[in-house]
């Protein structure tokens, strides 16, 4: 568990920006070195992001937040920052997350997810912001985390040349002709329900890239942290397609990016356990495998599905911590 002691410079930073004497309460850490605290001063609330250099650089978060706000998307306002210390004070969207809202009222899942789809329809209409390109090289590097971390953890010596060839055969489908801003961690735990109207607030977009609009749909509808039923996924995809005219080629991209993202996540969750001492991440891998196998069943994924069939037996598709025991 992350150490949630406030950083040494937090009190002085808050004092310098009109928050002197504020209580600093832990909110959360995440899979990176970033940590979050709530500053409370009377009736005022703000979130203090601790993104310590050299491990973290808050400038991408600030830049994307400002880009989103300029286009009337609900990203947190930047209240103050100290780049040398990696401290950023941002608007507090509260604690009402889409994740808990859906878990508390599963009968409302479709109506709760619908605004998240509509936001992506809006985002698709915007030219990509000033972020790096989500190109073939990045897709390949990310997918490679599976063979780098997951395979060795469960005792597999994978066919690396075959792995590269299989993905090369499908990546053309995942390259957008007109890239859009891809937030990349667009899922139920990063979507806040803000204010009485419960409008969507965006978090955790510092890794945004310019890529295919199907990627954030995958993040939302093949959520590694909560199970999205296939019927919900299908209904939300239909909502998106009805609003955008997305065709069969778009769905091919969706499944290629779904497989790529899920393979990447299996590698990342294994790395978080083995390298970073976070053993709860592998427990989510069976869910990720279920999504991955759903994508591999699509005709567009035949080359990659054949690689998995030859290299990863069903008995080794699960929680890597358990399988390595």
Q: Which fold has domain 98-323?
A: Aminoglycoside 3'-phosphotransferase; Chain: A, domain 2 (3.90.1200)
Q: Name the residue among 103, 47, 100 with its Cα closest to residue 77.
A: 47
Contacts 24+ apart (CB under 8 A), 224-227: 224/187, 224/262, 224/265, 224/269, 224/284, 224/287, 224/288, 224/291, 225/99, 225/187, 225/188, 225/189, 225/284, 226/99, 226/102, 226/103, 226/187, 226/188, 226/189, 227/287, 227/290
Residue-by-residue DSSP string for 242-266: HHH---HHHHHHHHHHHHHHHHHHH
Q: Name the residue among 255, 268, 247, 266 with its Cα closest to residue 323.
A: 266
Q: Name the residue among 236, 251, 230 with its Cα closest to residue 298.
A: 251
Q: Where are the domains of the chain?
A: 10-91, 98-323
pLDDT in tens, the chain (325 residues): 467 889 999 999 999 999 999 999 998 766 568 899 999 999 999 999 999 898 899 999 999 999 999 999 999 999 999 999 999 999 999 999 999 999 999 999 999 999 999 999 999 999 999 999 999 999 999 999 999 999 999 999 999 999 999 999 999 999 999 999 999 999 999 999 998 888 999 999 999 999 999 999 999 999 999 999 999 999 999 999 999 999 999 999 999 999 999 999 999 999 999 999 999 999 999 999 999 999 999 999 999 999 999 999 999 999 999 999 8
User: What φ, ψ does residue 126 adopt, rounded to 5°?
Assistant: -95, 135
Show Cβ contacts of residue 12 under 8 Å, excluding neighbours closer than 6 positions: none
Distance, CA of 162 to CA of 306 (rounded, Å): 10
Distance, CA of 225 to CA of 206 (rounded, Å): 19
CB 73 within 8 A of CB 202: yes
Q: List, for residues 145-174, the tens digit of each pLDDT value.
A: 999 999 999 999 999 999 999 999 999 999
Q: List, for residues 116-137, the tens digit of each pLDDT value.
A: 999 999 999 999 999 999 999 9
Provide the 8-state DSSP code for 168.
H
Cα 283 to chain centroid distance, Å, stands at 17
Length of the chain: 325
Distance, CA of 298 to CA of 144 (rounded, Å): 21
Q: Which fold has domain 10-91?
A: Phosphorylase Kinase; domain 1 (3.30.200)
The pTM is what? 0.93
The b-or-e profile of 189-207 (16+ CB within 10 A means b, else e) is bbbbbbeeeeebbbbbbbe
């Amino acid at each position: 568990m992350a150490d949630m002691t406030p950083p040494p410079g937090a009190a002085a930073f808050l004092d310098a920006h009109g928050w002197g004497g504020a209580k600093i309460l832990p909110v959360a850490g995440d899979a990176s070195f970033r940590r979050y605290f709530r500053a409370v001063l009377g009736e005022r609330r703000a979130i203090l992001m601790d993104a310590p250099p050299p491990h973290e650089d808050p400038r991408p978060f600030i830049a994307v937040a400002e880009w989103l706000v300029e286009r009337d998307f609900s990203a947190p306002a930047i209240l103050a920052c100290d780049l040398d210390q990696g401290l950023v004070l941002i608007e507090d969207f509260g604690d009402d997350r889409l994740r808990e809202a859906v878990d508390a009222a599963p009968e409302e899942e479709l109506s709760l997810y619908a605004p998240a789809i509509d936001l992506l329809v809006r985002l698709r209409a915007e030219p990509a912001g000033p972020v790096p390109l989500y190109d073939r090289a990045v897709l390949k590097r990310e997918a490679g985390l599976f063979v780098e971390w997951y395979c060795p953890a469960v005792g597999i010596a994978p066919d690396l040349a075959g792995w590269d060839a299989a993905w090369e055969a499908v990546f053309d489908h995942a390259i957008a002709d007109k890239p859009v801003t891809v937030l990349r961690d667009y899922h139920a735990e990063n979507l806040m329900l803000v204010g009485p109207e419960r409008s969507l607030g965006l978090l955790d977009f510092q890794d945004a890239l310019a890529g295919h609009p199907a990627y954030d749909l995958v993040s939302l509808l093949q959520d590694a942290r909560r199970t999205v039923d296939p019927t919900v996924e299908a209904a939300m995809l239909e909502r998106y397609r009805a609003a955008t005219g997305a065709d069969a080629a778009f769905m091919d991209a969706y499944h290629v990016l779904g497989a790529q993202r899920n393979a990447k996540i299996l590698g990342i969750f294994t790395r978080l356990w083995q390298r970073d001492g976070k053993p709860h991440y592998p427990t989510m891998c069976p869910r990720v495998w279920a999504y991955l196998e759903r994508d591999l069943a699509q005709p567009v994924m035949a080359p990659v599905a054949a690689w998995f069939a030859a290299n990863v037996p069903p008995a080794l598709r699960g929680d890597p911590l358990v399988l390595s025991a």
